[in-house]
A and B are shown apart, each in its own frame.
Chain A
Amino acid sequence: MVYKVMQTRNKVFLETFAVTLMILIVGFAIGFFVESYRSNKIVQDYKSFEVESLDLKMQTYYLETLGISSCASAIRENFNFADRVYDEGLLIQKYEDESELNQNILLDKKRYVLLDEQLWINSIILKKKCNSSFHTLIYFYSQSPNVINEAQQSAISKTLREVKEERGNDIILIPIAGDIGLPSVESQLRMYNVSYLPSMLIDEKIVLNGFNAKDEILKYLQ
């Protein structure tokens, strides 16, 4: 008799289990949907950026070898592209922080770092070829910082955003994860003697380690 009563009442545990499972499945489904949407967006954006990057490269190539393109137009395109890649980089960073299910975002990030590197090289060429006065500000940061560095990086990236807002059309700001596992990035770090993350490299000449206030950075961008 006791067992019979228990069996009848046991039902509620199973029913609750089923309902809980359903709720969790719905939650997971929404979570997967949101993260898949972001992941797809990054992939789609990357495709269009890749085309733009190649186009930019071609423009610089024509300018460099054939001299048939306009410096002003190439620099303008370079800036536009840099701004959009920078915004996309922030978006990827945001998605990366929020991602709980999809760990493949690191691969997408590596692709963007490579795009950033291409943009940087392109900017160096344009500066030389067109004798232009715009500045390149490369921000090397750590992909997996400790608590102290996280505070520092947060302060630097927000300060750089202020610098960019103030000197928008004068600076190409390119954030690059220095420890993302790309040999090309590592060789750049060696080439410019960047041994500490986070650091800033201004115009391929000045290396600023750690946090620097906005005014200090602006001094180097005169």
Chain B
Amino acid sequence: MELITIVYLIMFFFGIYFLMMFLILFYRHRKDIESYPEPKRFPSVSFIVPAYNEEQSISNTINALLAVKYPLGKKEIIVVNDGSKDRTSEIVKSFMKNHKEVKLLDKPNSGKADSINQALKIAKGELVAITDADSYPEPDSLFKMIGYFEEDRNVAAVTSRVLVKNTKNFMEKYQAFDYVVIAWSRKILDYIDSVYVTNGPLSIYRSEVVKNLGGFDTKNLTEDIEITWRILSKGYKTRMSYSTNVYTTVPSDFKKWVNQRVRWNLGGLQTIMKYRKYIFRGKNFFGFFVIPYVTLSFFLALIGVALFMRYIWIKSSIWIFSIPYFLRGYNPFRFMEFSLPITLLLILGLIFFILAIWYYKAAIQGQEIKNKGILSILTYSIIYRSFYTIPLLICLYKLLRKDIRWYTK
């Protein structure tokens, strides 16, 4: 057996393994996927909204947060104006006139993580809810999330289901699809205590725990992943409330999408590097599942890209080296004869593809997205997912050029 066949087989093994794991967990828990523990007490909550040049969206975000149902006097909203050059600060001040729970922290620009850390110092809440300035939680969000803290003292963070607000063009539509799939898979990981991202649009943390851990990492590109890993590495739990919806604005064009995904990839790698010493250590799933799973996913994606590039190289090189023969009378139509040989790898590839379609189908079942037909699933899995290659390659290029500061302390 050739080495390349063995590489494919390893890829298929892990690919099928993870798909099956998600499907098994889903079918085991599908009846209670939307359930959440109802709270008996209502601890004080401080919303922290870091904002940089958010004049377009900040009003809607504050309105959404004001509409979040919670006992009077137990909710405060701290907007951190991170040195915005637009009207963000003025807009927040206008809200403060009529809503005493809205507070403004004006500071020079220092990044999102530092903005949150500054706000943590003045936040009075037992819990802190971090919300992006372009995200809009539903009114019942807190009610569906805070019960998890009461249920288990060891829970330090609870995250929500992020859905897409803007769904007009192709990129937006398929990001909406993507977010539904991501949220679903995150909930599935909740069943094995492995929620490894508490997202930026809406996640709630125990203030005391976050403060004791030193706040958010200002040097990490994805501070939300990093804080989650720090929480997990200290033995705390993170949970996901699948019935809590928060709507966010996603990049509307390809370039912005690539930039966002490059940041996610690089931040993820920074986090892996920082916590690599925890692999196969500790008493929870963090060392035994989360780190190996995320690391393996990254490497499998890289190998997948390498295999894809190899395939393209083989096909295109024959094309390129055939050009002199085309010029000398070789019939190009003969060249384009195509056959799909039935091989072991094709069979395994088909099995993997069918499982992936099943996985996506399970993920979007009953979800609020426009197109849920097989054509949309195929477009998502074949076209949109193949876009993932581009940020991954840019990320790799940046790594090779050392265009990233490693923070591994």
The docked-state distance in angstroms from the alpha carbon of A149 to that of B355 is: 39
Chain B interface: which size bin?
A: 35 or more
CB-CB contacts of B337-353 with A at 8 A, as 1s and 0s? 10101111101100100
Asked whether B218 is an interface residue with its Cβ less than 8 Å from the other chain, the reply is: no
Asked whether B366 is an interface residue with its Cβ less than 8 Å from the other chain, the reply is: no
Asked whether B168 is an interface residue with its Cβ less than 8 Å from the other chain, the reply is: no
Residues of chain B with a CB closer than 8 A to A213's CB: 328-330
With A16-B17, A152-B325, A155-B335 known to touch, is A24 a contact of B348 (CB < 8 Å)?
Answer: yes
Instruction: Identify the stretch in A81-89, A95-103, A107-115, A125-133 within 8 Å (CB) of chain B at 4 or more residues.
Output: A95-103
Asked whether B285 is an interface residue with its Cβ less than 8 Å from the other chain, the reply is: yes
Residues of chain B with a CB closer than 8 A to A62's CB: none
Residues of chain A with a CB closer than 8 A to B330's CB: 155, 158-159, 211, 213
Instruction: Identify the stretch in A26-34, A116-124, A170-178 within 8 Å (CB) of chain B at 4 or more residues.
Output: A26-34
Asked whether B299 is an interface residue with its Cβ less than 8 Å from the other chain, the reply is: no
Cβ 8 A contact of A158, one of B25, B324, B335, B347? B335
Cβ 8 A contact of A31, one of B16, B337, B344, B355? B344
| Contacting pair A97 B17 (CB below 8 A) | no
Residues of chain B with a CB closer than 8 A to A2's CB: 283-284
| Contacting pair A100 B345 (CB below 8 A) | yes
Residues of chain A with a CB closer than 8 A to B192's CB: 9, 12
| Contacting pair A158 B321 (CB below 8 A) | no
Asked whether A154 is an interface residue with its Cβ less than 8 Å from the other chain, the reply is: yes
Within the complex, the shortest CB–CB distance from A222 to chain B, in Å, comes to 18
Residues of chain B with a CB closer than 8 A to A94's CB: 339, 341
Asked whether A17 is an interface residue with its Cβ less than 8 Å from the other chain, the reply is: yes
The docked-state distance in angstroms from the alpha carbon of A2 to that of B154 is: 11
| Contacting pair B341 A98 (CB below 8 A) | yes
The docked-state distance in angstroms from the alpha carbon of A26 to that of B344 is: 10
Residues of chain A with a CB closer than 8 A to B24's CB: 12, 15-16, 19
Mostly, the A contact residues are helix
* Residues of A in contact, count (CB < 8 Å): 43
| Contacting pair A20 B13 (CB below 8 A) | yes
Among residues of B, the one whose C-beta sits closest to the C-beta of A103 is B1
| Contacting pair B348 A27 (CB below 8 A) | yes
Residues of chain B with a CB closer than 8 A to A15's CB: 24
CB-CB contacts of B270-287 with A at 8 A, as 1s and 0s? 000000000000011100
Asked whether B359 is an interface residue with its Cβ less than 8 Å from the other chain, the reply is: no
Asked whether B317 is an interface residue with its Cβ less than 8 Å from the other chain, the reply is: yes
Within the complex, the shortest CB–CB distance from B16 to chain A, in Å, comes to 5
Q: A101, A154, A215: which has the most chain B beta carbons within 10 Å?
A: A154
| Contacting pair B343 A6 (CB below 8 A) | no
With A24-B16, A151-B318, A154-B318 known to touch, is A214 a contact of B344 (CB < 8 Å)?
Answer: no
With A6-B284, A150-B318 known to touch, is A24 a contact of B345 (CB < 8 Å)?
Answer: no
| Contacting pair B21 A12 (CB below 8 A) | yes
Asked whether B193 is an interface residue with its Cβ less than 8 Å from the other chain, the reply is: yes
CB-CB contacts of B231-274 with A at 8 A, as 1s and 0s? 00000000000000000000000000000000000000000000
| Contacting pair A151 B325 (CB below 8 A) | yes
Asked whether B212 is an interface residue with its Cβ less than 8 Å from the other chain, the reply is: no
| Contacting pair A214 B329 (CB below 8 A) | yes
With A19-B20, A100-B1 known to touch, is A215 a contact of B329 (CB < 8 Å)?
Answer: yes
28 A-B pairs in the complex with CB atoms less than 8 angstroms apart: A3-B283, A9-B192, A12-B24, A23-B20, A23-B351, A24-B12, A24-B348, A27-B12, A27-B344, A30-B347, A31-B343, A31-B347, A31-B348, A94-B339, A98-B341, A100-B1, A100-B5, A148-B321, A150-B318, A152-B325, A154-B322, A155-B330, A158-B334, A211-B330, A213-B328, A213-B330, A214-B329, A214-B331
The 8 closest A-B pairs by CB, nearest first: A31-B344, A213-B329, A151-B321, A98-B341, A155-B325, A158-B334, A16-B21, A20-B17
